[in-house]
């Protein structure tokens, strides 16, 4: 089912698409090359490359966590997985919201784990999403925020099947476009995206991989 939990965060950020694509110091190909190392430049380097300093803001994720917990009826000691957790800020707010939750996150970035919040660093595993280590239906909920579009098709397929396998309930959010303007802005802004899909194409992927969880899309207007 399509349900939106994330767009409020996405829309709260201002973006200068033309500045990103026309920068002389970091032309798009250079910015993408640096970003895809998933290190300092991706997380804390220049805004002309990506985040421009990805810092923890206490409670930033709490409104979304409240909605997720209510919608998915998450009870005490619920098991939750964040696929592509980055520095783990969602996990930190999740732990603060309910310390009884069993929380796990995976990411491929050694830099992100090293610079994650110390309260949840031990909950983060360096791992790819195309082969998850947990048994079937281990988690009550698995989430993935703005991660899966960074995968090539073969890894995207495997990751969707793995998320479906390890969790009873699932929610993912991915980048997409419906208009030519949104497509242009997405191409201007992204530095790591590999799967450029319309909502209809994403739904095709969900059906192909037998992913039965919930989902939403973010657009670049």
Task: Find the CATH number of the domain harbouring 79.
Answer: 3.40.50.150
Residue 8 has what pLDDT? 86
Asked if residue 1 belongs to a domain, the reply is no
Number of domains in the chain: 1
Burial of 158 (0-12, 13-18, 19+ CB in 10 A): middle
Enumerate residues 6+ apart whose C-beta is below 8 A from 162.
129, 130, 131, 132
Asked if residue 199 belongs to a domain, the reply is yes
3-state secondary structure of 135: coil
* pLDDT digit string, tens, across residues 155-197: 999 999 999 999 999 999 999 999 999 999 999 999 999 999 9
110-121: average pLDDT? 97
Domain that holds residue 51: 7-218
pTM: 0.95
| Rounded Cα–Cα distance for residues 104 and 19 (Å) | 37
Asked if residue 178 belongs to a domain, the reply is yes
Residue 148 has what pLDDT? 98
Asked if residue 22 belongs to a domain, the reply is yes
Asked if residue 2 belongs to a domain, the reply is no
Contact 84, 147 (CB under 8 A): yes
């Amino acid at each position: 089912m399509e349900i939106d939990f994330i767009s409020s965060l996405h829309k709260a950020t201002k973006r200068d698409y033309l500045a990103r694509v026309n920068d002389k110091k970091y032309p798009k190909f250079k910015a993408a090359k640096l970003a895809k190392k998933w290190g300092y430049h991706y997380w804390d380097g220049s805004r002309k490359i990506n985040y421009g300093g990805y810092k923890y803001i206490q409670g930033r994720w709490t409104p979304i966590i409240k909605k997720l917990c209510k919608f998915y009826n998450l009870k005490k000691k619920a098991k939750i997985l964040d696929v592509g957790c980055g520095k783990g800020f969602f996990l930190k707010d999740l732990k603060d919201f309910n310390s009884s939750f069993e929380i796990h996150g995976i990411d491929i970035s050694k830099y992100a784990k090293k610079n994650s919040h110390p309260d949840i660093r031990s909950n983060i595993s360096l791992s790819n999403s195309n082969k998850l280590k947990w048994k079937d239906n281990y988690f009550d909920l698995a989430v993935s925020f703005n991660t899966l579009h960074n995968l090539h098709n073969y890894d995207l397929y495997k990751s969707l099947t793995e998320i479906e396998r390890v969790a009873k309930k699932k929610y993912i959010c991915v980048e997409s476009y419906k208009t030519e303007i949104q497509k242009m802005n997405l191409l201007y802004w992204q530095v790591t995206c590999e799967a450029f899909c319309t909502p209809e194409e994403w739904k095709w992927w969900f059906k192909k991989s037998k992913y039965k969880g919930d989902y939403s899309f973010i657009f670049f207007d």
